[in-house]
Each structure stands twice: as structure tokens, then as C-alpha cells.
Chains A and B, each alone.
Chain A
Amino acid sequence: MRVLFLEAPYKHKAELGHEVLTYIISKKYKTIGLYMAVQFVESLDRIKKQLKEVGVAVVTSTPLRSQHKGQLLGCDVFSGNLQIKEEERREIDAYMYIGDGKFHPNALLYGQKDLHVDELREVICYDPISAKINVIRVEDIRGVLKRYRGALLKFLGAKRIGVISSLKPGQEFVKVSMMLEKKFPDKKFYFFVDESISFNQLENYNFIDLWVNTACPRIGFDDTEWFSKGIINLNDAFLVEEILSKNSVLNQV
């Protein structure tokens, strides 16, 4: 089956308003990590120019799964997803997201969870349609990260793990998830498949100690209230000991 993606681009020229530029200047930021919803990517160069005019450099990139430069996806929640060089990342004083809502910009926070606290950067969210600015920081996801760290710790000792996979082609990682059996031979893995995850079915499998999510990685962060036994994402399951041993944001929340 052929698939056509229509990006529904913003019809007008997206620009930074006075309030957001004033905020950046007041914070004395010198370099901004700039990302946006796909609807605004055509305005990337214009916004870069605006920032340059007030003496602010821009770091941006084409993230791992994106089609366009500067286009942020909600699944860009792992260190390295943005595909920026380490030395460039260290230059960034704050991230900026152009678009509405918190779903996408929260990815920029989650993506910093394994960094040292001193490297953590706030995310300036700017909606060019409403001209509203909203700044999000790790405090906004502290509760999520605490639960997530608890689930990672639980995974270490858990014996019966439920692995959830989606049938959606873009979210299906069944074969990769089966590599967990080799990595953790002392654990018993049960593999579950679904289209959209049926959260209300989880409790029926009451023998499961903990869940591993292989579908959209945001389920592991944003939908934790459905998982009374706890849930972690597949990538983090493979790296659990390394993640928990770091002097990181996640381990200090």
C-alpha cells in the first residue's frame, strides 16, 4: 500500500516575536539549539537569521528519523537522536522549539535525562501563531523521571518481563526486542503484540513483574500511570546498568 504524507505547512512566515527575543537576550544566551514542528521547517532560515541579528548562534540538525533539517519528532527522546556533534551540543545554552503544545518540546527534555545535571538546558517553546512563549525545565518532568528510574531499578531484579510491541510498521521492533533474551538470560520474557497498546488489558497478565515498551518511546514516559508494575523503554532496557551508574539528571531527580 502506497503512503502519501502531507505535511500541512504553515501558510505564513513564522517569525520570532519581540517577547521571545527579549527573553533570549535577557538570559544572555549565545547559542540556541533550534527545532520545530514540520509545519514550520520552511521558516528555519528566517528564524536563524533573526537570532543571528541579536547575536545568537544556532545549532540545529536533521534528527535521526526526521525528513527535514530542524524537524523534531516526539520520539527524539534518546541522547544522540538529534545527531549533533558533542562539541556543538556543549555550546548550546538553551533549546528552542517552534510549534504548539508540550508533546514535542518535552522530547528535548527527555533526551537530556542521561546528561550531567550541569549540562541540562531549558526548552523555550514558542508558538508563532499565538505569539506565546512557554519555558519548560526538568522540574516539569521530574515526577515522570522518578517513576522511570524506579522502573529501571526494578528491571534489574525482575524475573518475568512483558515486552509490548506494536503491529504498526513504524513502531514494530519485535525481532530487536527478542535480543533481550540473550542479554538477560536469567529473566523470562513474554512477548505481546497489539495495534495501539490496549492499556486496559495489562492487568489481566498479573504474573508480569515489569513491562518493556518497544512501541512509541513516549509510552514509556507519558503513559506510566497505566503501568502499575512499571515500564521502561527497550533502548534503556539494553543499557540499564550503564544508565543507572551515570552521574546524570535521571539519577539525581
Chain B
Amino acid sequence: MEQYDLELAKAVAEIKKVKAKVVCVQLPDGLKPLANKIEEELSRKTNARILFWLGSNFGACDIPSGLNRLGVDLMICWGHAKFHKQIEGW
């Protein structure tokens, strides 16, 4: 995983920019073992509460629903680019 840039500075900047108090982090399987390090870095550099999505992260289409109920202000999805959904189907 050290071959990939985690872009943690971007994550910190975005949390500060939107003044997020609760952040949910969604990691692909390869990055899940680094969740503790990510939590440590984001917590140390922001005051946000960091939650982790336990389940899948198959793609940018795989953003979970219902996180608003937990007061999540920002979702950070690692490993994928913005997804351009076609509303008429695939």
C-alpha cells in the first residue's frame, strides 16, 4: 500500500473546509488495515469524529445510504474517482 498516495492532506483540508464534525470514511479492502493510522491522522489534525464504513467499497457507485441519520457531514471514499451515473440505466 505504500505504493499509493493516500492523499491525507486533501482529506484534512476538505474536513476543515466544510467544517465537518462527523466524517465517515469508506476504504477499499486493501486500505482497511490502515484505518487506525487514517483515524489517528485525521483526528489529530481536525476535531472531527471519524467513523468507518464497515462494509464494501466496490466503487464510487457504492456509497452507502442513510448516513445522514447519524449526522455525518462528510463521506470520504478512498480509491475511486467521481462516478457519473447515467440515470436511464447502465
Q: Chain B contact residues: over half helix, strand or loop, or mixed?
A: loop
- Docked-complex contact B74 and A4, CB < 8 angstroms: yes
Q: Is B76 interfacial (CB 8 A cutoff)?
A: yes
**A168 and B86 in contact (CB under 8 A), knowing A8-B6, A10-B3, A67-B81?**
no
Pair count A-B, CB < 8 A? 128
Q: Chain A contact residues: over half helix, strand or loop, or mixed?
A: loop
- Docked-complex contact A78 and B90, CB < 8 angstroms: yes
In the complex, per-residue mask of B70-82: 1 if CB is within 8 Å of any chain A CB, else 0: 0011111111111
Expressed in whole angstroms, the Cα–Cα distance for A77 and B4 within the complex equals: 27
Please give the number of chain A residues whose Cβ is less than 8 angstroms from any Cβ of chain B in the complex. Answer: 42
Q: Which residues of A contact B60 (CB under 8 A)?
A: 5, 170
- Docked-complex contact A234 and B61, CB < 8 angstroms: no
Q: Is A226 interfacial (CB 8 A cutoff)?
A: no
Give 19 A-B pairs besides A38-B79, A65-B83, A216-B62 with Cβ atoms closer than 8 angstroms. Answer: A2-B20, A2-B74, A4-B76, A6-B11, A7-B79, A8-B6, A8-B31, A65-B84, A66-B84, A75-B90, A78-B90, A129-B3, A168-B65, A169-B85, A170-B59, A170-B60, A196-B55, A214-B89, A216-B59
